[in-house]
Amino acid sequence: MTVRHFHHFALGVPDIEAQKTFYEDFGLVGRVDGNGAVLRCVGRDQDQVVLTESKERTLHHLSFGATSEGLAQVKQRAEAYPGVRLVDIPKATPYDGIWFTDADGMLYNVHVGAAAPSNGGLMPQQPGLPFRTNGPGHYTRQNQKGSIEADAQVVPHRLGHLIHFTPDLEAKLAFYRNVLGLVMSDRSEHLIAFLRPPGGSDHHVIAIIQDEKVGFHHASFEVDDIDRIGLGGQAMIRKGYRNGWGVGRHALGSNFFWYIRDPHGGLAEYFCDIDYIADDAAWEAKNWPLDVSFYVWGPEPPPEFAQNFEGVTKAVKPVPR
């Protein structure tokens, strides 16, 4: 038994309003919730970003959905696993299920969720429009305008994955596999590893990066196509947010990307066209060299792209262009 899908993540931030506004500008729908805030993708009945009050930016917790049988198995494994400790439900984020910390001190929630469809429980209720491209001998779009309007709405459909830092990559990888039941899709030497729920999933729902301390790197939200990535990133830059990195295409996962820096130093990624693993037996996890695993094309990533901004105490407000 295993967790079936990645449900939501929670950040502690000094400036709730600044972070909430950032995600709303990014395309999510937010609401105030007590002293914090909750954000969802349009039309989705699922909390996907939770914000809580904190003196400094911190990754508060990660939440996963499971069946009732899966939840019981995760609880049993958590109780027996070295360094894992079950804890009480946090008052600031009172989600059902079990709560526990791992050897890093990171907080996790696993609860019973609805039965997961084939991609791990994250498919949008309504599929996006088909993306038709023309190429030599392959004219799938005929008598139709190919480009979309510059003011077209950019609406993320779902939370796809989250990347976070860990001081012990091997120990964290073992925790995810042995307690939550995730499967490794790929890794790149001793720097990063990508994990997914078994049984049909995106290439990854969680990835971990080796660093000196724990921390949040980025969360990624799926949009319809590369045009929406470009329009979304462009709109965020015009609103005064800082460019994180993009546009480009990743090597592991294959998704197109554009990252935008949030007010507390984290990143939000627009993505589309990620690899999908339908049959676990048909996929071979590999350990890729660093020089071929990062990206296929795009601008050079800025030096601060891989920096861990955990502990930031003041929000950086956008300066509209």
Using one digit for the tens of pLDDT, what is the confidence trace for 164-216?
999 999 999 999 999 999 999 999 999 999 999 999 999 999 999 999 999 99
What is each CA distance from 109 to 96, 180, 194, in whole angstroms?
A: 8, 10, 20
pTM of the model: 0.94
pLDDT digits (tens, 9 = 90+) for 78-136: 999 999 999 999 999 999 999 999 999 999 999 998 644 434 444 444 555 677 889 89
**128, part of any domain:** no
CATH code for the domain in which residue 202 is found:
3.10.180.10
Instruction: Specify if 320 maps to a domain.
Output: no
pLDDT at residue 129 in the model: 64
State which residues form the domain around 273.
5-113+155-303
Taking residues 135-153, what's their average pLDDT?
A: 86
Backbone φ, ψ for residue 140 (5° rounding): -80, -20
Task: Over range 11-15, report the average pLDDT.
Answer: 98
**Signed CA dihedral, 149, 153, 158, 160: sign only:** positive
pLDDT digits (tens, 9 = 90+) for 209-235: 999 999 999 999 999 999 999 999 999
Is residue 124 one of the residues assigned to a domain? no
- Residue 93 domain-assigned (yes or no): yes
Q: What is the pLDDT of residues 287-308, one digit of tens each?
A: 999 998 999 999 999 999 999 9
Whole-number pLDDT of residue 149 = 84
Asked if residue 257 is part of any domain, the answer here is: yes
- Whether 247 maps to a domain, the answer reads yes
Q: How many domains does the chain have?
A: 1
